[in-house]
Amino acid sequence: MSAEPLPARTGLAFPPGFVWGAATAAFQVEGATTVDGREPSVWDTFAARPGAVVGGDTGEPAADHYRRADGDVALMRSLGLGAYRFSLAWPRIQPGGLPNVRGIAFYDRLVDSLLAAGIQPWATLYHWDLPQRLEDLGGWTARDTAYRFAEYAETIVGVLGDRVASWSTLNEPWCAAMLGYGKGIHAPGRTDPVAAAAAAHHLLLGHGLAMDVLRRDAPRVPAGITLNLYPVTPASDAPADVDAARRIDGQQNRLFLDPVLRGGYPADVVADLEPFGFADVVLPGDEDVIAAPVDWLGVNYYRDYRVAGSPVPGSTPAGGEWLGAGAVHFVPDPAAPRTDSGWEVQPAGLTASLLQVHRGYRPVPLYVTENGAAYPDVLRAGEIADTDRVAFLDAHLRAALDAVTGGVDLRGYFYWSLLDNFEWAEGYAKRFGLVHVDYATQQRTPKRSAHWYAEVIARNALT
């Protein structure tokens, strides 16, 4: 990562035409998991496993977005959002592998409602809710799943087509592969490094195949992929620490960036994953498919990493999501504030991640497609004064402006999340939303951060 100094920032305004939005994911907000023909996903199965999710929570009712979408769109409009990034539920659209008219109709109505409200629909094809029937056949460890994903893409793109403002193939394939198949703390809950390595490649293969569908069936709509990118720095200049940073950066960032933006996997990462059969699942021609040109790249940012090649005081060893990295230890920053999730607040890492892509890869427009924080929001007298989230937002938007000053072609920012929701293995215990959701009544209450964000959007600038 370059340590070049940034030019002095000349103002707090964002570029003209900057896209301001908020994001959600189908399983996290929709609820209605057995309605209108939807089939079970791996997350339905995983959440039903005792102890898998905090509090035994499931995808019901989530934020009941399936039934309340019209009201939620009106809420977005009231906040001045220019775009809504949402995911499409594969189990709702193609149960049993066949198009489901009732499930598709929901997204048809949602897109029309967004357009009528002047809000750009940003659709993600896959945000982790794989149909359970495909997992029973091997899930993302099976090459065939990538081809089934392309068929699913064909089904929904053929309906929504050019009405969507922008398409994304995958959201955070690192999480789907490494947390789902390696560490087992996400669905499908497997702990097999060989499976995780295969899943990483087949997810990217699915991305490439879906890009082919998008180019054919929605040629006028920008399309890309969304990756969770975190800068990785060594705890010292010691060779073991430097190599630990190389290894973690390789699996978190370059394993996904290089095949998408450079046309092939990085040799050192392939060597790191050799014990897990990675090279065996990469067939001739696969890298060409994955390298299908993207119109933009989505960057999801939540934290940065400092790593050491051996234990140091306060460090924690790498877990099962880091394949073959048992000697690596993650070193905390005791001075950094933390969110309710225990994540360090490191805004400068957002600048660093954006610059890493800008300086290390071919030119491509970037969007911050997720960035947000959970805090223990308290509803008092009908209000949530989440000043901690306001401070988080302000700091990260300033970091985004630093990246723009450094030459990054940054074109938009999406806060995670629009609504409080089902936060995967944390269930309903963590609240990320700009809008508070009372899960018993489904009452929506915009937090102070929502009103602050609306003011930034209206100005297209910070103060």
Which helix (H) or strand (E) covers residue 330, if one does?
Answer: strand 329-330
Measured CA to CA, the distance from residue 160 to residue 147 in angstroms comes to 20
Given a contact cutoff of 8 angstroms between Cβ atoms, the answer to whether 106 and 67 are in contact is no
The continuous run of DSSP H or E covering 76 comes out as helix 65-79
Task: State which H helix or E strand residue 214 sits in.
Answer: helix 193-217
**How far is residue 202's CA from residue 182's CA, in Å, rounded to a whole number?**
15
Residues 6 or more apart in contact with residue 152 via CB below 8 angstroms:
90, 93, 94, 125
Which of 39, 135, 154, 172 is labelled catalytic?
172
| Buried b or exposed e, range 225-241, using 16+ CB within 10 angstroms | bbbbbbbbbbbeeeeeb
Count the Cβ atoms, other than its own, within 10 Å of residue 181.
Answer: 28
Helix (H, G, I), strand (E, B) or coil at 119: coil
Q: Identify which of 225, 140, 126 has the alpha carbon closest to the alpha carbon of residue 177.
A: 140
For the question of residue 370 being annotated catalytic, the response is yes
Residue 316 has a CB neighbour count (10 Å cut-off) of 11
**Token pair of 79 as six digits:** 């906040």
Cis previous bond, 188, omega within 30: yes
Count of beta carbons in the 10 Å neighbourhood of residue 137: 12
The candidate with the shortest Cα–Cα distance to 95, out of 130, 125, 60, 61, is 130
Active site residue 4: no
Which one, of 215, 138, 124, 221, lies nearest residue 173 by Cα?
124
**Which residues are known catalytic residues?**
172, 370
